[in-house]
Structure 1
Amino acid sequence: MRRVGQVTYELDLPSDLESIRPIFHVPMLHKCIRDPSRVVPVDDVLITEPLSYEEVLIAILYRQVHRSRTSIGKVLWRNKNVEEMTWEGEEDMKSRHPHLFPASEQIQTTAPSSSGW
């Protein structure tokens, strides 16, 4: 619609995107080539009041202990039909999923425990 700054523009967005602020920094814009296989139907995404969605932990695939004695694990998540793997810190996983870490479990540095860590 108009130029706001040296590299900032206000875009005329469709009415279904009215909750998005229409001012964009030009380097943030990229040409979009539509790929129908990557379209997620908006009706299938359940957004809760604090604007979040639920990811389900499927499996802890791998555990690694760094030289600094911090542990991370490769975790498989699912949100609707989409699965993705991320590296998560052990302390963060303990706080979010305490049932995976029995109190009597000791940290092992050679092989994952029965819970995956």
Structure 2
Amino acid sequence: MWRIGPAAYEIALPPHLGNLHNVFHVSQLRKYIVDPTHVLEDDDVQIREDLTIGVGPVRILDSQVKQLRGKEIRTVKVLWDEATQEMTWEMEDVMRRSYPHLFTGGKENPSGMTTEGWLENSLKEWVNDIKTPPNN
């Protein structure tokens, strides 16, 4: 680490991190207190040239069909990261093209049901809810 200004430091980075900016303002640095129990495990993370990380979906959690201007728009709720519980609604046809393994009959979800079966049951329940008159 080299001081390159009154409040900036340059840090030597290993070659595989050469595409990261190596100058830091002192407000970003913290003093490290040595602790022998601190063990850093090497994560096998592949960083692309544009500094993004390739993340794939874990599983499909839910599905829905929306009616927009007379068209049916099918979407699926996708779990991207179990640790952070990050999930988003995505277009079903795009997910089918990009991640067909999420829709194969042999692939099971945590409930023990195939994804196709789970989606079919969810749709049947939704239709039954619509057909069932409310209790007054």
TM-score range, shorter chain: 0.3 to 0.5
Bigger-Rg structure (1/2) = 2
Compare the two structures and name the one with the higher helix fraction: 2
* TM-score between both structures, scaled by the size of structure 1: 0.45
User: Quick one: higher RCO (CA 8 Å, sep 6+), 1 or 2?
Assistant: 1
